[in-house]
Amino acid sequence: MKNSRSLFLCIVAFFLMTQAVHSSNIERLGVGFQTTAGAGSPVGFIGLEGNLSLNYFDFCLGAGGGLTGTQYSTMVRYYPGKNNILHFGTGPSFSYHKGTAETKFKDPATGTVHTDFKVDFEDRYYWWNFEMGLNFFTHPKERKGFLINLTVGAAYLFDTDYNTLNQEFGGFNLAGLMLVPVTSLVMSLQRPIIEKNAVFPYVCASLGYHF
């Protein structure tokens, strides 16, 4: 059901893109790519995007990775000015995180490393992104050539799906009693549990080329 929702969003975005191509007087048509890195973005901490440029719009598909696992995005970016310095963007992204979160400690008496708590999980996150960016093209009026981009935005978590596949408690209370803040931090980094309707600001930079 959740995977169907993300697929549906991508289909809707593709349909809107094809309708725009069909109904527009094409003044600018091109393709491009860019790598993105930053403190969160529609493609996570680091990722790659490909885009189709049509008149004042870029239609982008991207993939990358972040705190919530592998991330995929569909973004539409609008360039209102003739020099294409500023853009506004919006679109959904989906992240998938499957793994194991565990806490360990070393028994000071025996030197044995114990697993105190272990969770196997498969989580999904559904985001909607809003952003504004500054763009520096080598050929700004044509929106072509090399691109350096600086973007700020916010990601809204509109749905989640947390699935605990298996969990095991080792029965070693030392970590649970003495290292609660540390073990909680370790678990939250390995398996971030984010409340639905949370909003996260992000800032990122991109380097790319538009043909």
Q: What is the CATH number of the domain that holds 15?
A: 2.40.160.20
CA atoms within 13 A on the CB side of 75: 28
CB 149 within 8 Å of CB 205: yes
> Tell me: the pLDDT tens digits for 140-155?
999 999 999 999 999 9
DSSP string, the chain: -HHHHHHHHHHHHHHHHHHHHHHS--S-EEEEEEEEEEES-TT-SEEEEEEEEETTEEEEEEEEEETTEEEEEEEEEE--STT--EEEEEEEEEEEEEEEEEEEEE-TTT--EEEEEEEEEEEEEEEEEEEEEEEEEEETTTTEEEEEEEEEEEEEEEEEEEEEEEEEE---HHHHHH-HHHHHHHHHHHS----TT-EEEEEEEEEEEE-
Domain membership flag for residue 15: yes
CB 76 within 8 Å of CB 60: yes
C-alpha–C-alpha distance, residues 93 and 157, integer Å: 10
> What average pLDDT score do residues 168-188 get?
58
Number of domains in the chain: 1
Tokens of 116: 């105190």
Q: Which domain range does residue 73 map to?
A: 2-98+122-162+195-210
> What average pLDDT score do residues 6-21 get?
60
Domain membership flag for residue 47: yes
What's the mean per-residue pLDDT of the chain?
Answer: 82
Domain membership flag for residue 68: yes
> What average pLDDT score do residues 13-32 get?
67
Domain membership flag for residue 6: yes
Query: What pLDDT does residue 144 have?
Result: 93
CB atoms within 10 A of CB 62: 24
> What average pLDDT score do residues 53-71 get?
91
In total, the chain counts a number of residues equal to 211
Q: Is the pLDDT of residue 156 over 80?
A: yes
Residue where the block lists tokens 């080792």: 170
The structure's pTM equals 0.76
Domain membership flag for residue 64: yes
Query: What pLDDT does residue 176 have?
Result: 44
Query: What pLDDT does residue 177 have?
Result: 46
Query: What pLDDT does residue 89 have?
Result: 95
Of the given ranges (11-15, 86-90, 95-99, 196-200), which has the lowest mean pLDDT? 11-15
pLDDT band at residue 75, thresholds of 50, 70 and 90? very high
More confident residue, 165 or 16: 165
Domain membership flag for residue 49: yes
> What average pLDDT score do residues 21-44 get?
81
Domain membership flag for residue 199: yes
> What average pLDDT score do residues 38-66 get?
92
C-alpha–C-alpha distance, residues 171 and 168, integer Å: 9
Domain membership flag for residue 116: no
Q: Is the pLDDT of residue 25 over 80?
A: no
Which residue type occupies 151? T
Q: Is the pLDDT of residue 169 over 80?
A: no
Query: What pLDDT does residue 54 have?
Result: 87
> Tell me: the pLDDT tens digits for 77-118?
999 988 899 999 999 999 998 888 877 666 666 666 666 777
Virtual torsion, Cα 30, 211, 42, 165, nearest 10 deg:
90
CB 146 within 8 Å of CB 187: no
